[in-house]
């Protein structure tokens, strides 16, 4: 799997590629990351990569020609029969989620374009960009943070990267959790600031522990991301026991708050 990153600030990626558990993916070549600066493909003494926007307005726009030459160099080096998709991180893109990350983790990679300033010349986008991705309804100074988020999420799904091979399967949003949020976690000491670890986790009874975690997952998801509960329900992923717990928790919340609109469990 190979990701080519087009960025004006390649130095920003150094900590990502050399720190933490995910560095194993990059050092071993499981996720091959190569950095490309469009300034190296710009013309003139100043290697200009941006200019003012036609029609006026604040900010600068990334020029199409240096990006085109940079992309051409990447395509020549990759030498693929089927060109890897060119991805632009943009507010109009589809929001990145676990399903998309899982798809990318099983792919051959992509070329990731990190925009800067007011954006990229639309003609380059129209001609060469295959897909646009967003992290959410907010604007970053550039696409580098978004690219790092995608790389990190993909890297941790690669075999051998995490210490526990199955740990990512219990992450929030994972199909193994039916797309729900993960349950709370506790560690030593057993009592901290007068708060004890839930007794279910101390019981040693694996079936009871598993059920407690499932119910906590249901509770947290219904409280914070109720749309995920509905998605799991529509997909037939909630058991009768799950539905009974949700109803009981909802009824208990209703009784506590005496308000039809109360949603807390």
Residues identified as active-site: 91, 118, 156, 171
Q: Which residues, other chains included, contact 104 with Cβ-Cβ below 8 Å and sequence gap of 6+?
A: 110, 150, 153, 154
Distance CA 156, CA 158 (A): 6
- Cα 218 to chain centroid distance, Å, stands at 22
Q: Is 61 helix (H, G, I), strand (E, B) or coil?
A: strand
**Nearest Cα residue to 148 out of 29, 250, 11, 1:** 11
Q: What is the dihedral of CA 114, 117, 122, 127, to 10 degrees?
A: -20
Distance CA 186, CA 196 (A): 9
């Amino acid at each position: 799997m190979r990701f080519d990153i087009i960025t004006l600030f390649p130095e920003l990626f150094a900590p990502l590629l050399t720190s933490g558990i995910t560095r194993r993916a990059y050092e071993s070549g499981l996720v091959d990351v190569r950095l490309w600066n469009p300034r190296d493909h710009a013309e003139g003494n100043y290697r200009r990569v941006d200019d003012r926007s036609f029609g006026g307005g604040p900010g600068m726009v990334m020029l199409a020609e240096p990006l085109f030459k940079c992309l051409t160099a990447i395509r020549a080096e990759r030498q693929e029969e089927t060109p890897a998709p060119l991805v632009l991180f943009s507010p109009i893109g589809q929001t990145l989620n676990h399903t998309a990350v899982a798809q990318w983790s099983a792919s051959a990679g992509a070329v990731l374009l990190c925009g800067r300033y007011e954006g990229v010349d639309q003609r380059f986008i129209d001609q060469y960009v295959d897909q646009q991705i967003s992290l959410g309804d907010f604007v970053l100074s550039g696409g580098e943070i978004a690219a790092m988020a995608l790389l990190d999420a993909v890297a941790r799904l690669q075999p051998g990267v995490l210490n526990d091979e199955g740990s990512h399967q219990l992450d929030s949003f994972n199909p193994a959790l039916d797309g729900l949020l993960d349950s709370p976690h506790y560690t030593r000491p057993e009592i901290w600031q007068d708060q004890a670890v839930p007794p279910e986790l101390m019981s040693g009874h694996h079936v009871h522990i598993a059920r407690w975690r499932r119910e906590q997952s249901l509770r947290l998801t219904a409280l914070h991301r109720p749309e995920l509960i509905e998605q799991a329900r529509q997909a037939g992923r909630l058991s009768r026991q799950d539905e009974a717990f949700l109803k009981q928790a909802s009824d208990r919340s209703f009784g506590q708050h005496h308000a039809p609109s109360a949603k807390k469990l």
